[in-house]
Chains A and B, each alone.
Chain A
Amino acid sequence: MRTINRLLVANRGEIARRVFRTCRDLGVETVAVFSDVDADAPHVTEADQAVRLGGPRSYLDADAIVEAARTAGADAVHPGYGFLSENAEFARAVLDAGLIWVGPPPEAVAAMGAKVEAKTLLAAAGVPVLPTYDLDDLDDLDDLDDLDDDDARPPLPLLVKASAGGGGRGMRIVRAAAELPEAVASARREALAAFGDGTVFAEPLLEHARHIEVQILADAHGTVWALGERECSVQRRHQKIVEESPSPAVTPELRRELCDAAVRAAQAIGYVGAGTVEFLVKDDVVAFLEMNTRLQVEHPVTEYVYGVDLVRLQVEIAEGAPLPGLPPSPVGHAIEARLCAEDPANGWRPQAGVLHRFEVPGVDAEFRAAGTLRLDSGVAGGATVTPHYDPMLAKVIAYAPTRAGAARRLATALARARLHGPVTNRDLLVNVLRHPAFLSGETDTGFLDRHAAAVSAPRAGADAVRISALAAALAGAAANRAAARVLGELPSGWRNVVSQPQRTAFALPGEPGERVEIAYLITRDGLSAEGFDGVELVSATPGEVVLSVSGVRRAFAVHARPGVTYVDSVLGAVRLAPLERLPEPARQVEPGSLLAPMPGTVLRVAVEPGDRVAAGQPVVVLEAMKMEHQIVSPGAGVVAALDAVAGRQVEAGAVLAVIEEHADDNADDNVGTQ
């Protein structure tokens, strides 16, 4: 038995905080590492000690982290998830430095890290797997159809995967043979960028299967627990966004089958520590997907249902302790939602910026499976969300006796959360959690695609946006009165001769050209606002406006920041950009300006000044958060100005190019560059 006294977490954000919470419970001192952009992050301020690593990518710098552990006097390293958590060399380096590695043996990590070999190994141990197609064996991918060996010829549709991958990176679906070369090439590029290893392979695409995984815990004394399953079928681009335990589709028999397979897998590789064995389940087919040799993002749902602290067990296993007694039995149902700074309506584009307010009402536990609503957050109100890391802000987990109860609790908590900053996927999560198909357990990996229209619609429809804008205007009026240097006590907008209403206008961020104009008059007879018949003003302060619509009173919480106003109500969250009444002419953006949607680097400039462009034609390609974003021309026209330069960093909102629209340009006019 060894004792861990000071633990370094080689990670950031919520998982670092999660591990620290257990450390505090155990009395273990904590060491954080941080990149320069994270210098003020909560995980840094919360740790007993913190060591600077360097640039944004320095969480991948194994040497620096081992050195940090040494400098800070840590005796153990917890890798969290992502970054170096499944890097066997890093695990070895930690062990070589004489530190305790809170994770599985490097050999087990390596064995599962190479996906192709892992499948072979586990198949031999009796774990069900899908066939693997080694793409490196194909000389000419174009000739796929000409293969005459049926065994070597992959069936379509096919999934191209990075051998070293995870989290959907380096994954491509191929439905037609012709798509394969490009899919392989781009998967290799992405895998190389994300994992430093461009090896890819293919397997049959099991469409509309459920993603079901088993949590295992193995101690160094040969005991392996399987703590039931988690279903993580609701995914976007292979990234999980809603996870739960237990799965509504898993029968006791299937659970036994999955758990047995998972235990066999762990035993086959001499696994020690916490790990997850992932399966795809469709009808009678159960196929091993991959094994994650680390703590999973979604581990809290298991913690709720099994009443365990997985990090505590990880630490105890690393210290050499045996698993205590028999595995606990599951009770109740837990659902987790990943709250991400990304815009589902805009190709899931990651969002960056200042998170002015971050409040989830009703949270009764943080980083701990207690109460009924748990928050594991990497950020706090006032934080800046940078484009450098995964856009996940926080996980919100609800626990209830029933699945329906947990879904309701979670949906309402998310709906009521105050998320004032970058666009998030909150509305989508709420829509998913309230969708009849979700509630009846009809979840598989095609869920989001199938219900895209229903779940991606913002909760606040056009009417909700309008009345929220009215509330924002009235809160603005109250704020104006409160801030008035003179005559602040007089009635708002008082006139002895009434000629016209007060006017204010908002742009809708994310909907270029859309604006909401509010014209209102507050007199002793109450509110009269154009287009809002039957709406009465009950009360207005700078922070809250209560309106009565056809006799129904609703409170609108209004939070105004420079350039953006957030309105939260039961009708949904609305973001509005107040428009200046008298804008400075020089500051007005020219019509037709293409703006950088987020901070990033200009990868390519596809046009020259003076070029004719068609609607939808790519103009600039921006790289941000390891993804390529095409900035396309909004209409047919001519490139009037080109500010973007390849290789140059740009801020969000920077003008990349100006397209002068020509309505008479025909789409088939082929003069322009392509």
Chain B
Amino acid sequence: MAILTSRLDAAAPEYDARRAAMLARLGELAAEHAKAVAGGGPKYVERHRARGKLLARERIELLLDPDSPFLELSPLAAWGTDYPVGASVVTGIGVIEGVECVINASDPTVRGGASNPWTLRKSLRAAEIALRNRLPLVNLVESGGADLPAQKEIFIPGGQVFRDLTRLSAAGVPTIALVFGNSTAGGAYVPGMSDYVVMVKDRAKVFLGGPPLVKVATGEEADDESLGGADMHARISGLADYLAADEHDALRIGRRIVARINRREPGAALAPVPAFAPPPRYEEDELLGIVPEDLKIPFDPREVIARIVDGSDFDEFKPLHGPSLVTGWAALHGHPIGILANARGVLFGAESRKAAQFIQLADQSRTPLIFLQNTTGYMVGREYEQDGIIKHGAMMINAVSNSTVPHITIVMGASYGAGNYGMCGRAYDPRFLFSWPSARSAVMGPAQLAGVLSIVGRAATEARGQVYDEEADVAMRHAVEAQIEAESLPFFLSGRLYDDGVIDPRDTRTVLGLCLSAIGNAPAAAPAGYGVFRM
């Protein structure tokens, strides 16, 4: 037992300020989530309901086990683009008949559920999560197909949707399609490539070409039902395995299918989960008051760890060496984990070597790793370059890249420069990556970036023998700072699918617990073939 002792002063004015700032951002987050939940807006929601149909999230709620948790993925997809927040699809991880599944439900209230480029990226990410974690994929289909004006960005890459379905199946991960409405043309291959297909009577419409196209192509007169009705597919073509009487019945059948896929969570590679995991000894609510609004002020990640791991029990590894990076072992909802957390932003050589060694140890003991990011990057400067900071950073990046245990990354604060890479940023394929509303990610801080541009610009001007325009420089720096700041904000990055969602810091333990459990469905690959390099 190594119980962390919190030094957080919840009575301090700074705490209140940090908490107030975080709550303000959570308010903004809730407003953005509400936009996604509102789908196509009241008019289209009403029209959908008037047809006796359930909304995408209502379908999901009925599909899930009552009172079980559901982690919605990429809810802010398409944020900051021309497309509606949420990208006309709902994806997430939930429990159906005791089995963790990935669910993908098109939202027909948003432009008929048509796919835009962000819909595609969000769906592909969900399919990737299903494949990597071996979670059955349930598609709740009702989509008008591709958003045609954007077809150039959808048509060619969109083929991956169907490829992924059959690759999931080939990998032994069941795929299920519940067809509630339109699933035509390319969309017909969603049921077409799924292991199990349920179609709702009088509602599902699954064909390659509808009546007008058939008429043009062959001159044949045919109606919707004979070309692609649920009844036809259930009785004649055999594309539908089950004919559902209505939407509720389709969801019921979907649950029965999952109940019968003989799913057992392997998790053998990971230690068994104890029946009862002690909660942290400190209040989760205090997670709101840890991260300073100004990310230039460092904070102690142990305050975060103390509020997310079981019993606030954390065995720190190499506490005296490379103190800017905290490493150690803990459990979270009973799952053993290793944690790497930035303590003072900067990664020096010692921190890099410590990280590389720690990651190798986790690989050896098959322990999943959690990265808690708040880094400004690797240290620069003559002394550090001469000491080999690039080599040391490379060791860390090498270890992260080739580690075979699952990684989960939480961006708590800054995630700048190569620190983003070494601390398992998106490009390093963590199984999951979530941001707090306080997160910032960019190649470097906005002020630094503007400053660099300014210095480079000044040098170029002076090299040409001209006089540098100081006024223009100020304006330029402000503009650049504002742009970089905006583009490093979590909503913007989440909109571009650079994370799996922006979460309330108080939900961190729950999100990690859910993800660690989901990860347990896919055993980790064997570690690389060397012993642990002592760094």
Given A489-B333, A585-B245, A484 and B68 contact (CB-CB distance below 8 Å): yes
Q: Looking at B57, B265, B501, which has the most chain A CB atoms within 10 Å of its CB?
A: B57
- Cβ-based interface call for A481 (8 A): yes
Residues of B within 8 A of A495 (CB): 69-70, 72
CB B65 to nearest CB in A, in angstroms, measures: 7
CB B51 to nearest CB in A, in angstroms, measures: 19
- Cβ-based interface call for B511 (8 A): yes
Bits for B40-71, please: 1 = Cβ < 8 Å to A, else 0: 00000000000000000110011001111111
Contact (Cβ within 8 A) B510 A491 = yes
**Cα of A84 to Cα of B251 in the assembled complex, Å:** 59
CB A488 to nearest CB in B, in angstroms, measures: 9
Contact (Cβ within 8 A) A504 B95 = no
- Cβ-based interface call for A486 (8 A): yes
Residues of A within 8 A of B72 (CB): 495-497
Contact (Cβ within 8 A) A489 B62 = no
Q: List 19 A-B contacts (CB under 8 A).
A: A480-B67, A484-B65, A485-B98, A485-B99, A486-B98, A487-B68, A489-B277, A495-B69, A495-B72, A496-B501, A497-B33, A497-B37, A497-B75, A500-B58, A500-B61, A503-B61, A581-B248, A582-B62, A584-B249
Contact (Cβ within 8 A) A582 B252 = yes
Interface pairs A-B: 6 shortest CB-CB: A582-B252, A485-B98, A494-B69, A477-B67, A480-B67, A497-B72
- Cβ-based interface call for A499 (8 A): yes
Residues of A within 8 A of B517 (CB): 486-487
Q: Looking at B68, B99, B276, which has the most chain A CB atoms within 10 Å of its CB?
A: B68
Residues of B within 8 A of A500 (CB): 57-58, 61
Q: Looking at A485, A492, A503, A524, which has the most chain B CB atoms within 10 Å of its CB?
A: A485
**Cα of A584 to Cα of B67 in the assembled complex, Å:** 21
CB A82 to nearest CB in B, in angstroms, measures: 48
**Cα of A369 to Cα of B99 in the assembled complex, Å:** 57
Interface size class of B (residues with CB under 8 A): 35 or more
Residues of B within 8 A of A484 (CB): 65, 68, 95, 98
**Cα of A497 to Cα of B251 in the assembled complex, Å:** 21
Which residue of B is nearest A504, CB measured?
Answer: B66
Given A486-B95, A582-B249, A585-B249, A493 and B57 contact (CB-CB distance below 8 Å): no
- Cβ-based interface call for A462 (8 A): no
Residues of A within 8 A of B333 (CB): 489-490
- Cβ-based interface call for A5 (8 A): no
CB B286 to nearest CB in A, in angstroms, measures: 13
Residues of B within 8 A of A504 (CB): 66
- Cβ-based interface call for A402 (8 A): no
* Interface members, chain A 497-547 (any B CB < 8 Å): 497-500, 502-504, 524
Contact (Cβ within 8 A) A496 B504 = yes
Contact (Cβ within 8 A) A480 B65 = yes
Contact (Cβ within 8 A) A502 B252 = no
Bits for A571-593, please: 1 = Cβ < 8 Å to B, else 0: 00000000001111100000000
Residues of B within 8 A of A491 (CB): 69, 510
Within 8 Å by CB of B510, from A494, A503, A581, A582, lies A494
**Cα of A493 to Cα of B510 in the assembled complex, Å:** 12
Contact (Cβ within 8 A) A490 B66 = no
Contact (Cβ within 8 A) A499 B37 = yes
CB A434 to nearest CB in B, in angstroms, measures: 38
Residues of B within 8 A of A105 (CB): none
Residues of A within 8 A of B65 (CB): 480, 484
Q: Looking at B246, B265, B506, B514, which has the most chain A CB atoms within 10 Å of its CB?
A: B514
Residues of A within 8 A of B510 (CB): 490-491, 494
Residues of A within 8 A of B98 (CB): 484-486
Contact (Cβ within 8 A) A496 B71 = yes
Residues of B within 8 A of A584 (CB): 249, 252
**Cα of A76 to Cα of B70 in the assembled complex, Å:** 70
Contact (Cβ within 8 A) B67 A481 = yes
Which residue of A is nearest B333, CB measured?
Answer: A489
Residues of B within 8 A of A502 (CB): 61, 66-67
Residues of B within 8 A of A489 (CB): 276-277, 333-334, 513
**Cα of A491 to Cα of B507 in the assembled complex, Å:** 10
Query: Which residues from chain B sit less than 8 Å from chain A, CB to CB?
Result: 33, 36-37, 57-58, 61-62, 65-72, 75, 95, 98-100, 245-246, 248-249, 251-252, 255, 265, 276-277, 284-285, 333-334, 501, 503-504, 506-507, 510-511, 513-514, 517
Residues of B within 8 A of A300 (CB): none
- Cβ-based interface call for A350 (8 A): no
- Cβ-based interface call for A476 (8 A): yes
Chain A interface, >50% SS class: loop
CB A470 to nearest CB in B, in angstroms, measures: 14
Contact (Cβ within 8 A) A496 B511 = yes
Interface size on A, residues (CB 8 A): 29
Residues of B within 8 A of A480 (CB): 65-68
Contact (Cβ within 8 A) A582 B255 = yes
Residues of B within 8 A of A492 (CB): 67
CB A63 to nearest CB in B, in angstroms, measures: 56
CB A498 to nearest CB in B, in angstroms, measures: 8
Contact (Cβ within 8 A) A477 B66 = yes
**Cα of A497 to Cα of B95 in the assembled complex, Å:** 16
Residues of B within 8 A of A477 (CB): 66-67
Residues of B within 8 A of A499 (CB): 37, 57, 61
Residues of B within 8 A of A524 (CB): 284-285, 506
Within 8 Å by CB of A476, from B37, B58, B66, lies B66
**Cα of A504 to Cα of B507 in the assembled complex, Å:** 25
Given A490-B514, A585-B249, A497 and B334 contact (CB-CB distance below 8 Å): no
**Cα of A477 to Cα of B68 in the assembled complex, Å:** 9
Contact (Cβ within 8 A) B100 A487 = yes
Within 8 Å by CB of B95, from A487, A498, A503, lies A487
Contact (Cβ within 8 A) B68 A582 = no
Given A484-B98, A581-B62, A496 and B75 contact (CB-CB distance below 8 Å): yes
Given A490-B510, A581-B62, A496 and B67 contact (CB-CB distance below 8 Å): no
**Cα of A581 to Cα of B276 in the assembled complex, Å:** 30
Residues of A within 8 A of B503 (CB): 496
Residues of B within 8 A of A498 (CB): 33, 37
If A484-B98, A492-B67 are given as contacts, then 7 extra A-B residue pairs at C-beta distance below 8 Å, sorted by A number, are A476-B66, A487-B100, A487-B514, A490-B69, A490-B333, A496-B75, A500-B57
Residues of A within 8 A of B68 (CB): 480, 484, 487, 493
Residues of B within 8 A of A494 (CB): 69-70, 507, 510
CB B529 to nearest CB in A, in angstroms, measures: 33
Contact (Cβ within 8 A) B95 A496 = no
CB A237 to nearest CB in B, in angstroms, measures: 44
Contact (Cβ within 8 A) A582 B66 = no
Which residue of A is nearest B506, CB measured?
Answer: A524
Residues of A within 8 A of B70 (CB): 494-495
**Cα of A497 to Cα of B504 in the assembled complex, Å:** 10
CB A37 to nearest CB in B, in angstroms, measures: 37
**Cα of A495 to Cα of B249 in the assembled complex, Å:** 24
Residues of A within 8 A of B100 (CB): 486-487
Which residue of B is nearest A580, CB measured?
Answer: B252
**Cα of A557 to Cα of B145 in the assembled complex, Å:** 52
**Cα of A46 to Cα of B62 in the assembled complex, Å:** 49
**Cα of A162 to Cα of B33 in the assembled complex, Å:** 77
CB A299 to nearest CB in B, in angstroms, measures: 51
Contact (Cβ within 8 A) A490 B255 = no
Q: Looking at A485, A489, A500, A583, which has the most chain B CB atoms within 10 Å of its CB?
A: A489
**Cα of A271 to Cα of B40 in the assembled complex, Å:** 90
**Cα of A271 to Cα of B337 in the assembled complex, Å:** 87
**Cα of A492 to Cα of B33 in the assembled complex, Å:** 20
Q: Looking at A491, A503, A582, which has the most chain B CB atoms within 10 Å of its CB?
A: A582
**Cα of A31 to Cα of B276 in the assembled complex, Å:** 52
* Interface members, chain A 465-490 (any B CB < 8 Å): 476-477, 480-481, 484-487, 489-490
CB B87 to nearest CB in A, in angstroms, measures: 13
Q: Looking at B37, B61, B69, B510, which has the most chain A CB atoms within 10 Å of its CB?
A: B69
**Cα of A553 to Cα of B7 in the assembled complex, Å:** 37
CB B515 to nearest CB in A, in angstroms, measures: 11
Given A487-B100, A502-B67, A581-B66, A497 and B36 contact (CB-CB distance below 8 Å): yes
